[in-house]
Amino acid sequence: MTGSPGDGTPEGPARAAVEEFLRHLEQGRQLSPHTITSYRRDLDDLGGFLSHHLGSSEWGWNSVDRLTLRAFLGWLRRRRLARRTVARKLSAARSFFRFLHREGRLPANPARGLRAPRQERRLPGHLSMRGVERVFRVAEDRASENTLQGTRLLLILEILYGSGLRLSELHDLDLTDMDRGVAQVKVRGKGRKERIVPLTRATLTALGRYELRRAEVARSGRSADARALLVTAAGRRLSRRAIQRAIEGLLQAAGEGSDLGVHSLRHTFATHLLEQGADLMGVKELLGHASLSTTQIYAHSTSERLKQVYRQAHPRAE
């Protein structure tokens, strides 16, 4: 065989088709660079497998049938990849073959009807109410020092927990996205889909304190990004990794688990809303989920908590 799994998609028409698909994702569907990179990596895995499986680097996508794709799934499982990873790679292949079929490159879609592996249903990590109080206590102490870093950290925490944003959504926020008058923020989610999310009164207060420090950066002439909401002392947009480090350090300082991070605050936002009686469909819209099934895991988390309370409190539960 001339190739081995993992070599990547060969050059020529097969590679050109992948590049055209990626341009469609970037320009047509406006997916993020991170997502485009993920698609490229998954399709390179598929291409490398096909070169090995078909015994040649000179093949076309019309050489692929359902049995070949089943063999690809078997190869992924033998690599002991997580089910979530296998499902993601299959999803990338499905999207790609759907694109080729729609564009008239293939007479049929060989990925149609292929089932993804059953997912493990894992409850997302989140903070308790008391845990949230401890984290905010530490953040408010740091903000009381009236530094750019301290006031910025409190604002980050207020937005993540108060509005349930994703890391990428928070990172991309501009000053003009924050509407004080109606206490809401315009968020650009996955696929650049926009949604409007409420802001808490505490978030608006934190925003006012932070903007005083941010204005000092602008007056110093160091502002490299006048639009960005979150900036560094040099005036540049704060990076995603810097946001992650800040929240991870805050959680550790508050004595919360080392396995929690930025996304845990989004999970906490959704879980606490449902625990307080919020409607599942409303939480779905606030989170920007495309499917209700994605939101239902939080309802499962809430029901598990109630079962635990029942087992601990009811005299005949055991």
Cβ-based neighbour number of residue 103 at 10 Å: 12
C-alpha 147/C-alpha 263 separation (Å) is 25
Q: Please report, in angstroms and rounded to a whole number, the separation of the first and last CA atoms in the chain.
A: 60
Question: Could you list the active site residues?
Answer: 166, 190, 263, 266, 289, 298
DSSP of 15-80: HHHHHHHHHIIIIIS---HHHHHHHHHHHHHHHHHHHHHHT-S---GGG--HHHHHHHHHHHHHTT
Residue type present at position 29: R
| Residues 243 and 251 sit within 8 Å (Cβ to Cβ) | no
Find the angle CA(140)-CA(143)-CA(149) to the nearest 5 degrees: 135
| Residues 311 and 318 sit within 8 Å (Cβ to Cβ) | yes
C-alpha 205/C-alpha 253 separation (Å) is 23
By residue count, the chain amounts to: 318
C-alpha 295/C-alpha 307 separation (Å) is 19
Residue 198's alpha-carbon distances to 34, 180, 182, 212, 267, in angstroms, are 27, 10, 8, 22, 17
